[in-house]
Structure 1
Amino acid sequence: RTRLRAVEYEIAIAKGHLERAEQLAHARLTAAEQACPDGCLDTVLALHELAQVSWYLGRAEDALELSSRGHRLSIAELGARHEQSLELAQLRANVLAELGESDESIVVLEEILALRTLTAASDSATVVSTRFALAQALAGQPARAAEAEATYRRVVEDATQGRHEHFVGMATSALGSLYFRRGELAWALAADRRAIEILERVHGGGYPQLATLVNNHAVHLAAADDAAGALEAALRAWDMWHAVSPEPSPQDAAFLQNIARQLITLARPEEALPWLERALAVTDSEPTSGPGTASRMTMADALLALGRSAQADQLRVEARRRCAELSVERRAAAKCALIPPP
């Protein structure tokens, strides 16, 4: 039964059915804790699954706690250099980077990379995945952008050699984001298109990260003054995301807000409001969510465009209040300092 749950979990992840995957991981962990209260290999594997899907669902704090717990138990059961321990260490490092702890993440990933390159070729799947994670952590530090770019390029080279197309696509997309930050919009858009083409070929449309990449492409198109193209891409991204994650969740907000922003740019603020109302509905389920702040700011812009300044000011006041309630990491992500006074 445990093996069946594991197979069902992998299928659910592959199809982007994250809520189902979470249910299966919870069931496996419950069964493992009942069978071996002091912890065993199956507990390690269940914690890994639950940490992974929590991260995919945008619950980074939960993912950090679960991956840390799983890593400690894996070291006790299997040793620090066992592949399962390294997998959990890498997942934990990925989550740390997302939470703004990139210094610690980089140290951990460099250690994992050094260990893996002792026994595996540079174009092996494990080494490529670790180097990609290291590039992501480096990209989180503006002063190390050049290192991040060089590392992403190495990932593309090794992944191409090893025929790991998923990582070719992901690293190409990440390079596009770096180009975008430097203002090299033509290069960014070309990288976006190449990455989307590769990942659609590898995964089809049912891959959650692909929806996020298309959503980012919409942002890049908007920066290039292609508002109509940006709206088309944003709507496509939402359709892709909603197909793999049909249940309302705070992660919906990034897609809904992007559609609204493009509508506002196209001087269609009245059409933006329903999308923003949906974004607020999903983010308000988490009282201290950064996306809830962003939704309020975008809605304030729409209301101002419609001449409803009093309501816009009220939303800005709410946005400031919510920002004050966020953790330091989430406050930075929500760009609280950029909220103008009402």
Structure 2
Amino acid sequence: MASIFNSNYVALGIAWTFGIIGTLANIIALITAKAQIQRLKAVSTISSPMVYSIRNPIKHQTFLIFMINLAISDLFGSLYLLLMGSSDLYSRLDNLEVANASNSISNSTPVDIAWPYHPTCYVARSLLILSISESTTLTVLIATERYMLVMRPFSNHNHITPKRAVIQSVISWNASIVLATTCNIIAAKTLLPPPSRYTYRYHNLCYIDNINNSSVRSFFLSMIVLGLISHVIIICTYIIIACKFHYGPDRRLRTIYHSRAKLPKKAVYLAYTIGFVNFITWFPAFAVGLIVFCNYQFLVDNILFQDVIAIIYLLHQTKCIINPIIFIISSRKKFSIC
């Protein structure tokens, strides 16, 4: 029976499983991060200037502010998966009712034609673009904040304060909203008319439609390039941080991080892990997107590849589960970063 995911039950399972787990995990992560910020505000200032500069609770508040925003963006990604799964279920039930009414079950139901034009698909696209864009931006901001903390650990003037973190988060959210709105406008203006649409395995993901269109190709290429630049920045930043940890000439930094201030080190390792997870989940989607951009006809001619695209693009949202789970585990008393 035709539906949003058709017979791609792997994609359907990913949507439901990861959507439910991700939603619950990110809600718990939000509650945990908020509780940690409240606890940090109650911590008295450490008198020693050297220790204070690196263990300052304010600097951990900055990190937690970014983590809260990351949890919100990942929550949007999880809600996207749930919305796709629930819409697929609704379409299957609706098709069954229509088939029973006509006493005939047919695969020529209009669900594959109607769904990309449905307002719910535009909502799903907004959630997806917001999640991808904001998650990537926040990962860059977290890497930058950790870089500044490690490279200038004894300075209180070169770090991102909580106020600056809030401002940067607001700016990034506004930019993501503009990007999501632009994507919806382009989709509305370039979506292929029903008679011309040859498949719904890829189109019904509510991502970017009709990549053969020049405007869509330009927009799609810009997203690929921005994603590549962002992840290169993240990787290079953490490589520099790792070198500073292990080979830096400042012995005071290594001594303090290893003996007296393990908490910042744990926070940096948490940032490492989040950056690595985002890269690992992003790269397959990047590779597939590059293939589609370079050889669109290959997508048109290969139904199996269309199913693989759906699975890979949905797997991109596994970061929405892994990120909050890592943060929750690291926030336990035994592993607490704050």
TM-score range, shorter chain: under 0.3
TM-score normalised by structure 2 residue count? 0.27
Look at both structures and tell me which one has the larger radius of gyration over its CA atoms.
2
TM-score normalised by structure 1 residue count? 0.27
Tell me which of the two structures has the higher relative contact order, counting C-alpha pairs closer than 8 angstroms and 6 or more residues apart.
2
